Amino acid sequence: MVHQQMAAFGHEQVTHFVDEETGLEAIVAIHDTTLGPSLGGTRLLPYETHDAALTDVLRLSRAMTYKAAASDLDLGGGKAVIVADPTEKTEDFVRAYGRMIDRLGGHYITSVDVNTSVTDMDHIADETDHVVGTSAGLGDPSPITSRGVFEGLRACVDATYGTRDVSDLTVTIQGVGKVGSGLAELLVDHGADVIVSDMHEEAMNDVAREYGLGTVDPADVYRTDCDVFAPCAVGGVVNDETIPQLTCDIVAGGANNILERREHAEALLERDILYAPDYVINAGGLITVAAEHTGDSREDALADAIAIGDRMEELIDRAESEETTVLEAADRYARERIESATDEPVPQSAD
């Protein structure tokens, strides 16, 4: 099964690590290193099955290849998952993981992701040089990610309504973590009417009070009347069940793998809903840790994240000229960058 999935997704290497002393189990997936070493975060989740963990890491690492290429970064795509309950995490556990990363010889560079922290990256840095996102680095990338999502969203607004001004728009944000709440603040500062939704009611209400926002129950979020729907939490939320409920003109958010399947981009287009490919619009985090890796500044990373708006505009124009989805236009741009550095064709992204 592993070999079949690797072949389908075009992965170079998948490594399964086990450390009996600490109970660590991890999977590192390196998708493509044509443009440079693979870089992607490590997420820690109590996956119900090994197959679920493998599927997640394969999809995420492939997406990182496209994200790096579409962002004009000289990096490849990689990702790692640790199969564990977050409460089981210890310093010894994390250090053991760092030693495992070191064995990959720099082909994979790790960073922060779900349930891993800057402190964890500091412990990993004691065991390997192949890590970014430490306390000695450029700081929390979330504000830069939020800014990139905001600029990409504005480009979609311009393509739809003929202006980047969001002051007359209603935006529904699903998920009020660091990226979602940061996006809400930016939208409010620019005059938008913002509605938020989150499975964690207390967090939702806290953000709503802080910025004076409306709220909606998670069960009703898809059918909420708005101009822009911005998923900023879990993936797979745009699917066969939710698409018929959407009343928006634009789907643009900071979550990874927003579409359950690739064909959902076509389903949105058929309903005249503009979809901003998530790996383009949410690339600010990768841009930040890539800047740390190359020795650039936080200001450099912010400037590159702001330019996401221009990249989105370019891809929207390309999609219109090619009569295809913006997702396919973004995929083609990424593949062209990779293929320009090799004689080998790049497998199409597939779900």
Q: Which of 309, 306, 302, 307 is nearest to 139 (CA)?
A: 302
> 2-61+77-125 adopts what CATH topology?
Rossmann fold (3.40.50)
Has residue 8 got a pLDDT over 70? no
Q: What angle do CA 271, 273, 275 make, to 5 degrees?
A: 135
Residues 241 and 343: their CA atoms lie apart, in Å, by 41
Has residue 90 got a pLDDT over 50? yes
Residues 27 and 50: their CA atoms lie apart, in Å, by 10
Has residue 100 got a pLDDT over 70? yes
Has residue 270 got a pLDDT over 80? yes
Q: Are strands 250-251 and 228-231 parallel, antiparallel or unpaired?
A: parallel
The model's confidence at residue 4, banded by pLDDT at 50, 70 and 90, is: low
CATH architecture of 142-281: 3-Layer(aba) Sandwich (3.40)
Residues 179 and 169: their CA atoms lie apart, in Å, by 20
**81 DSSP β-pair partners:** 27, 43
Residues 315 and 320: their CA atoms lie apart, in Å, by 9
**Within 13 Å of residue 126, how many CA atoms lie on the same side as its CB?**
12
pLDDT digit string, tens, across residues 13-63: 999 999 999 999 999 999 999 999 999 999 999 999 999 999 999 989 999
Structure tokens at 254: 């900071």
Mean of pLDDT values over 184-205:
96
Residues 345 and 233: their CA atoms lie apart, in Å, by 33
Look over the chain and give the mean of its residue pLDDT values, rounded to a whole number. 93
Predicted pLDDT of residue 235: 85
- Calculate what percentage of the chain has a pLDDT beyond 90: 88
Domain residue limits, the chain: 2-61+77-125, 142-281
- Do residues 14 and 29 touch, judged by C-beta distance below 8 A? yes
Predicted pLDDT of residue 350: 45
79 a catalytic residue: yes
pLDDT digit string, tens, across residues 140-176: 889 999 999 999 999 999 999 999 999 999 999 999 9
Interaxial angle between packed helices 118-125 and 91-102, expressed in degrees from 0 to 180 and rounded to the nearest 10: 60
Residues 41 and 46: their CA atoms lie apart, in Å, by 16
Predicted pLDDT of residue 114: 85
Non-local (6+) Cβ contacts of 316 within 8 A are 155, 156, 159, 274, 326, 329
- Do residues 40 and 110 touch, judged by C-beta distance below 8 A? yes
pLDDT digit string, tens, across residues 197-256: 999 999 999 999 999 999 999 999 999 999 999 999 988 999 999 999 999 999 999 998
Predicted pLDDT of residue 3: 58
Q: For residue 211, what are the CA distances in angstroms to 19, 140, 196, 215? A: 46, 21, 11, 11
- Calculate what percentage of the chain has a pLDDT beyond 70: 95
Has residue 332 got a pLDDT over 90? yes
The model's confidence at residue 7, banded by pLDDT at 50, 70 and 90, is: low
Catalytic residue among 67, 79, 89, 178, which?
Answer: 79
Mean of pLDDT values over 301-312:
97
Predicted pLDDT of residue 6: 59
Mean of pLDDT values over 111-128:
94
The model's confidence at residue 342, banded by pLDDT at 50, 70 and 90, is: confident
Structure tokens at 237: 């939320």
Beta sheet of 108-112, edge-to-edge order: 13-19, 24-32, 76-83, 38-45, 108-112
- Do residues 107 and 28 touch, judged by C-beta distance below 8 A? no
Predicted pLDDT of residue 1: 56
Has residue 327 got a pLDDT over 80? yes
Query: How many other C-beta atoms are found inside a 10 Å radius of the C-beta of residue 119?
Result: 13
The answer to whether 2-61+77-125 and 142-281 have equal CATH topology is yes
Predicted pLDDT of residue 324: 96
